[in-house]
Structure 1
Amino acid sequence: IFFLSVIQSLAVEIKGEVINLEGKPVVEAVVLHRQSGNKTLTDEKGLFALTVPDEEKIRLEFIHPAYIEQEIVLTSRQLSRKVIVKLIPYIMQREEIIVTALRYPESSASVPAAETVILKETLEEKMSSNITESLSNIPGVSNIGAGGFSLVPNIRGLARGRVLIMIDNARVTSDRRTGPNASFVDPKNIERIEVLRSPSSVFYGSDAIGGVIHILTKKPSMQERFRGKINAKYGSINQEKGLGFSLEGSKKNAGFLLSFQGNDAGNYSSPSGEVLQSQFTQGSLFAKVSYIKEKREIHLSFLGSRGYDIGKANQDSLTKPTWYPKENQNLLQVHWHERGLGKGGELTLQAYFNPHFLETIKENKEDSLTTEESYSKTQSLDYGFHLSYGKKIGKHLRLKGGADFYGRSSVKVYNVDKSFDSDANITAVLEQWPFADGKRKDVGFFFSLDYSGVKNLDLVSGIRWDSLLMEALPGGAASSEKRRYYAWTGFLGCSAKLSEQIVIFGNLSRAYRAASLNEMFYTGITGRGFINANPDLSPEESFNLDAGLKLIFKRFFAGIYSFYYEIDDLIERYRIDPDERIYAYGNVNRGQISGYELEIEYYPFPGWKIFGNFFSFRGKSKTTQNALNDIPPSRLFMGTRLWIERFSFEINTTLQQEKKRPGPAEIVIPGYGAVNIKASYLYNSSFRIYLVLSNLLNKNYLARPDPDSV
């Protein structure tokens, strides 16, 4: 008896749960303590209990044929708490991915629109410096800009304020002429990115005419423990050095997360030499405090970002360098989500504030001496509120209604031009205020319906009314100029299950976009040259058709999508003086954009994936038949990936067709091909190594038809 009691005292029981990336239980996963040989299987709820020898550190392995093997190390302090292990699947079943594209969570298989979800595990592997890099190589998404850190996402040929970027439902606004890119958000602070490639004005208001990129930041894991994480990276192409750390902890229903990330990079190298003005330095502080119960969630977060010396790469950076000396963002948010109000009702409240500014400098040089310098500073306070109530009636009907408010205030722009002599003495100074006291007020009311009462059908519809007010005091004017718009938008979509594996969907919608304050009132320098404002721009209004087919099998997924958009009063940018890079805005009577996308994932067996996607778009003015700006050339992306226990290896290639019909502010570019390699090794849950080799063949190419592209 004495012998048995000693043996029992040297053993410990570990209890825990094994889940997948969506929080669902992983059934019949092997939990192995290799040193003793003890093992068990998880039950139908993903739970397990395993008795192992009591040691200072206990190493457990989690093995399942559909998931990447994972190993964790537990200390004596952690044994008293429930262990939660999250496994990464080889095969991501599309019906298991939950998205919030239409303002409430549902399976991606039933969403009647084209969408893509990028999880944090994918973001970690890519080691991207910003959001635009993270979105590369997904169906229908390209980027615009000359090059460097400030490229902007482009969805189906629509960018420049036509793609709404949100951070936890807060709008991101940029005073760059190419539009917002949320480059101040470090990918390491992101839980997932949802990309909706369909017009969404009925759900989000103006600026969602081309789709939505929704960035969802990380939350505390609420595992009642304190933990930290350190990450570091180095990039040889531009000597990029990244370093960051994060801390999180929780007790009962309250938790916190704190993260600091910093990146510094010099000019990057291309096969043809150094690319000037492609450097950047950026740091961010992200903090979130959460209170989570079964029927209540409250989140208070702050994202502060500081960017310094962000280069704007151009063809003539040697003689006309342009860069952003400072970019400052301060996004404060509060979210309150209440469940169980009125027998299944849910109430959502949100408010956010973001005072921010951006500085731009452009120089003219002769024989390495600065002869002229132009400086611009744009600053603004952006804020917004959201209130909505949703309720499920019976088993098949879900209703949701609410109101949005988005505002900008105290928007002002200051410009100063200086001239210098050969001894660097200032010979002339010209100060200007292109506009001041800028304001924008968007008020919207929306109502949506989701009905699934007909077998194998899911019907979604919505309607929205918006009122928009734009106001600014142009430089030299005696009084402010005001523009007021009213807009109705609607959406009707349906997804149908033809079988358990085949889903078709279609939708038609009306969307709109009002011209921005900068497009109407800002005249001055930009990252690419000089722009002339046009206060008489009309709002864009569009009619949209979207359809698709999804094939969802256990080891095979394919999606085929097509779309047709007609946009009245499409706002285009024209290059009116190529030598001096001077641009102006104007309305196109009616723009037409159409195209199709394909994507495929095939797993011959667990541990081996073959993947790819392709898109081809066309865009023209229906009046003149001239090509539109920002329509990307056709592109094929494909590759394969192999997992061997904890090691993975991927090779992929991008093939882009030549651009034969450039828009009014573009150039013809040849096609190109590029090959990349990725590898990773998951030593355990606490230590991971990633490697990315880009442009393996060291080819020089132009990816964008921008005349200043590098």
Structure 2
Amino acid sequence: MKLFYVTLLLGFSLVGSAQNKISGITSDKENKPLSNVIVSLPEIHKETISDTDGKYTLVNLPNGTFKILFSAVGYSTQTLSISFLGKEITQNIALEDNIIHMDEVIVSTAFNKLQSQNVMKVEHESVKSLQQKGATTLIEGLAKIPGVSQVSTGTSIGKPVIRGLSGNRVLVYSQGVRLENQQFGEEHGLGLNDAGVESMEVIKGPASLLYGSDALGGVLYFNPEKFANSKEFKADFSQRVFSNTLGSNTSLGIKTSTENWKFLARGSFNTHADYQIPDGNRITNTRYNESDLKAGIGYSNSKFSSVLRYNFNKLDLGIPEEGIGEQSTSHSTIYPKQAVDNHILSLHNNFYFKNSKLDADLGYIFNDRSEFTDSNVASLHMKLRTLNYDLKYYLPKLGKVETIVGLQGMHQTNKNSGEELLIPDAATNDFGVFGTANYEFGKNVLQAGLRFDNRQVSSETHGIIGNEGYFEAIDKSFDSFNASLGFKTNLADDFTLRLNIASGFRAPNLAELTSNGVHEGSNRYEIGNANLLNEQNLQTDLNLEYKSSHFEIFANGFYNHINNYIFISPNGNVIAGNNVYDYVQANAKLYGGEAGIHFHPHPLDWLHFTSSFETVIGKKDEGSNLPLIPANKWNNTFKGEFELKNWFKEGFATLNIESTFAQNNNNEFETRTNDYTLLNLGLGGKIIISKAIFNFNLNANNVFDKTYISHLSRLKTDGIPNIGRNIILGVNFII
């Protein structure tokens, strides 16, 4: 903890003189000034927007060589490398038309490159674009990205699945720190609200080189909303209503910045009744309420920058057990239910030297989870405290070689205070060191890295030997070496190939090592195995991508082999009416991929057509199917863009056809699911009335009120369908 306060003190006490400045004019290819061009230096978190004359200015820039990006909707992103050394620079830029896409800087990978420059294919989506597609929650929005799904319990609880892997095999980052919230539990959702989240990035594949244990299956990286630009004040209010759950989502935010200081705050409240299925019935106790508060303060000058952020999320979740029980439109949860308080405190520091840079991230997460069975006395109460640190040093560039070395660690404690215990009181300590290098030669990029990790897990004895709830103390150590190698090249103009080979690992979690009791959410008696080994995988990814101004096509393929894959298997015994399951291991493999097109025909400049297909197959080496493998999906969207005189701007209308195939490759303890097709509609844009400006979205999901059951729904064993038709109206006012 001392390290946290020392870095905090350093971050807000250092003083440096601002000397460097860059300014210029942004224009189109016909030399007409362009306004609203985003001019940014992502490495140092500096950004501004060109004015109505195309002029921009950035000051207080540190010495060194940095990439400056010029990006705008409808134009190709341009990147320049600029060296600063106590001087003012004038840099004009002309952008070229590109209707289909705007290149984005990828934060979740090592070198923060543009996606077009990145060795690894990373999916990037803004929260705004996902809401325009009709996403009602953050996890539902994620599931709209090809290769990503969710294990759901009604509408309130969703757990991400990346190419068939979920739970502790998918690592989640928020505010630049790893999120720890007892994610081993099937009824433990993300605990994150989309208010105050700018965008999300998905690494589909092992990312243990950068993130250590639990990134074996991939990483979800949530980027928080940006601060206001220098000398700017912004306030916004948004309201969304949902017809199916009689729900409401309200958010209010403010932010302001001076030349050096930045501040923002946002509060939101989300409330929903039980969701309704197509036959008119509601699924009892799928209601929930959520309060969320986010705040941030930052300071930067020419020597360093520091950002302190805080997020408090409070969840009141009903746990559905009756299915179609007593019908109600109340928003007040009934028993059984969960109460979850989640606190995330993060401190991100950048220290700039002449030709190098040091990033220092510190995080503290406190997850307080209670479960109430039939009274206001918690039968289950777990407190998880996690302190983590992440230090990365960017060495001076050697020719065309960029190099990063770093170390990461985590100290975590779990304490129980309820009558029931799912896992014992325990402490977990992680430590990892790594190095990675990026080499560019011509149109080719080669990236490689190596890492070592150690995880120490120790727990306390609890209970009476031979009884339910007895936990024998363990003291285990898990080590792993991992490596990655990636190559990117242009096979032809606008035609890119990416090939990545990487290993990853996951140490067994506490539930897998120590369980001894009934997991009520699963209706089974689980017995842990203290002799479990690391899961260790090796995955190969191939990405082919062609992009032009009116057409793009991509194809991703992967093969993932996992040694010592951990799963539960019934042993034939029954305890207290519950089947007994043991945690065991076997080798497994997953393979499949995603493919898609985006067509913007000329001269129909207002029309877009996108189509994507995704598939994954998961099997043990002996041939049986793995559980929780999502069904194949085919998604097609028609989007039209339009404007109406001077009062309706950035208008759009969408028609989406989402086809999910039957899942017959089910695990022997799962039920099969049938195919289904959903039709979704969307309409929105920016309305200008006098000086008032607001955005609105109107979406209709499952327009034909189709009855269906998702293969990854935890309610499917009781034959409970997913949500029926849902009309969503959202408005956003910006001051």
Match of 2:588 among 572, 586, 591: 591
Match of 1:555 among 542, 550, 553: 550
1:255 and 2:282 correspond: no
Further displaced range: 178-187 or 256-265? 178-187
Aligned residue number for residue 529 of structure 2: 535
Aligned residue number for residue 628 of structure 2: 630
1:475 and 2:488 correspond: no
Letter in 2 for 1:353: Y
Query: Could you tell me whether the CA contact under 8 Å between 2:318 and 2:337 is conserved in 1?
Result: yes
Give me the whole-angstrom Cα distance separating, in 1, the residues matched to 2:575 and 2:252.
46
Aligned residue number for residue 448 of structure 1: 436
After superposition, residues 574-585 of structure 1 pair within 5 angstroms as: 574=569, 582=579, 584-585=581-582
Q: How far does the alpha carbon of each residue in 1:594-634 deviate from its partner, in whole angstroms, 9 at most, with x for none?
A: 112112211114332111211111111112x1100121111
Give me the whole-angstrom Cα distance separating, in 2, the residues matched to 1:123 and 1:181.
23
Q: 1:602 and 1:586, CA in 2 relative to 1: closer, same or farther beyond 3 A? A: same
Give me the whole-angstrom Cα distance separating, in 2, the residues matched to 1:580 and 1:682.
58
Q: 1:362 and 1:412, CA in 2 relative to 1: closer, same or farther beyond 3 A? A: same
After superposition, residues 141-180 of structure 1 pair within 5 angstroms as: 141-178=148-185
Query: Could you tell me whether the CA contact under 8 Å between 2:484 and 2:503 is conserved in 1?
Result: yes
After superposition, residues 11-160 of structure 1 pair within 5 angstroms as: 27-28=27-28, 47=50, 66=74, 91-93=99-101, 96-126=103-133, 128-160=135-167
Give me the whole-angstrom Cα distance separating, in 2, the residues matched to 1:463 and 1:156.
24
Query: Could you tell me whether the CA contact under 8 Å between 2:182 and 2:384 is conserved in 1?
Result: no
Q: CA deviation at 1:575?
A: 5.8
Letter in 2 for 1:347: L
Letter in 1 for 2:444: L
After superposition, residues 364-513 of structure 1 pair within 5 angstroms as: 375-409=379-413, 411-416=414-419, 432-433=420-421, 435-453=423-441, 455-476=442-463, 480-513=473-506
Q: 1:48 and 1:158, CA in 2 relative to 1: closer, same or farther beyond 3 A? A: closer
How many residues of Structure 1 are paired with residues of Structure 2 in the alignment? 620
Q: How far does the alpha carbon of each residue in 1:26-79 deviate from its partner, in whole angstroms, 9 at most, with x for none?
A: 634999xxxxxxx9765998855669xxxxxxxxxxxx9938xxxxxxxxxxxx
Query: Could you tell me whether the CA contact under 8 Å between 1:90 and 1:606 is conserved in 2?
Result: no
Further displaced range: 586-595 or 191-200? 586-595
Q: 1:236 and 1:175, CA in 2 relative to 1: closer, same or farther beyond 3 A? A: same
Q: 1:257 and 1:706, CA in 2 relative to 1: closer, same or farther beyond 3 A? A: closer
Further displaced range: 464-473 or 475-484? 475-484
Letter in 2 for 1:233: R
Give me the whole-angstrom Cα distance separating, in 2, the residues matched to 1:201 and 1:316.
40
Q: 1:47 and 1:194, CA in 2 relative to 1: closer, same or farther beyond 3 A? A: closer
Give me the whole-angstrom Cα distance separating, in 2, the residues matched to 1:124 and 1:25.
33
- The normalised TM-score by structure 2 is 0.78
Q: 1:434 and 1:679, CA in 2 relative to 1: closer, same or farther beyond 3 A? A: closer
Aligned residue number for residue 17 of structure 1: none
Aligned residue number for residue 57 of structure 2: none
Gaps of 5+ in 2: 1-22, 40-48, 55-71, 76-94, 327-333, 464-469, 644-648, 721-735
SS at match of 1:106: coil
Query: Could you tell me whether the CA contact under 8 Å between 1:332 and 1:354 is conserved in 2?
Result: yes
Give me the whole-angstrom Cα distance separating, in 2, the residues matched to 1:222 and 1:230.
19
Give me the whole-angstrom Cα distance separating, in 2, the residues matched to 1:585 and 1:106.
44
Aligned residue number for residue 615 of structure 2: 616
1:699 and 2:706 correspond: yes
Q: CA deviation at 1:217?
A: 0.5
SS at match of 1:702: coil
Q: 1:221 and 1:401, CA in 2 relative to 1: closer, same or farther beyond 3 A? A: same
SS at match of 2:511: helix
Q: How far does the alpha carbon of each residue in 1:561-591 deviate from its partner, in whole angstroms, 9 at most, with x for none?
A: 1111111111113467799665635233201
Q: CA deviation at 1:681?
A: 2.1
Letter in 2 for 1:641: K
Gaps of 5+ in 1: 1-22, 32-38, 52-63, 68-86, 364-369, 417-431
Match of 1:331 among 344, 350, 360: 344
Query: Could you tell me whether the CA contact under 8 Å between 2:519 and 2:526 is conserved in 1?
Result: no
Q: CA deviation at 1:653?
A: 1.2
Give me the whole-angstrom Cα distance separating, in 2, the residues matched to 1:392 and 1:652.
48
Aligned residue number for residue 59 of structure 1: none
Q: 1:392 and 1:611, CA in 2 relative to 1: closer, same or farther beyond 3 A? A: farther
Letter in 1 for 2:101: Q
Give me the whole-angstrom Cα distance separating, in 2, the residues matched to 1:551 and 1:592.
29
Query: Could you tell me whether the CA contact under 8 Å between 2:168 and 2:183 is conserved in 1?
Result: no
SS at match of 2:389: strand
- The normalised TM-score by structure 1 is 0.81
Match of 1:520 among 510, 513, 526: 513
Query: Could you tell me whether the CA contact under 8 Å between 2:119 and 2:498 is conserved in 1?
Result: yes
Query: Could you tell me whether the CA contact under 8 Å between 1:177 and 1:526 is conserved in 2?
Result: no
Q: CA deviation at 1:488?
A: 0.4
Q: CA deviation at 1:707?
A: 6.0
Q: CA deviation at 1:123?
A: 4.0
1:265 and 2:254 correspond: no
Give me the whole-angstrom Cα distance separating, in 2, the residues matched to 1:498 and 1:612.
24
Match of 1:565 among 547, 551, 560: 560
Further displaced range: 387-396 or 551-560? 387-396
More strand by share: 1
Give me the whole-angstrom Cα distance separating, in 1, the residues matched to 2:679 and 2:24.
36
Whichever of the two has the greater Rg, that structure is: 1
